[in-house]
Amino acid sequence: MSDSPKSLQTLLNAWNEKDPNKVRDHLDAALANDVNFADPTYLTHGIDEFETMVHEFHNKYPVSQCERTSGLDSHHNRYRYSWLVSVNGIPALPSMDVTHLNGEGKIVSVDGFFGPMPEK
- Write the DSSP assignment of 41-102 as a string of letters: S-EEESHHHHHHHHHHHHHH-SSEEEEE-S--EEETTEEEEEEEEEETTEEEEEEEEEEEE-
At residue 6, the pLDDT reads 97
Q: What is the CATH number of domain 6-113?
A: 3.10.450.50
Question: Which residues sit opposite 81 in a β-bridge?
Answer: 97
**pTM of the shown model:** 0.93
Taking the chain (120 residues) in runs of 10, the rounded mean pLDDT of each run is: 84 97 98 98 98 97 96 97 96 96 98 92
Q: Which residues lie below 8 Å from residue 23, measured CB to CB, with a gap of 6+?
A: 14, 17, 51, 54, 55, 58
At residue 117, the pLDDT reads 85
Greatest C-alpha distance within the chain: 44
At residue 1, the pLDDT reads 44
At residue 116, the pLDDT reads 86
Q: Can you give the residue ranges of every domain in the chain?
A: 6-113
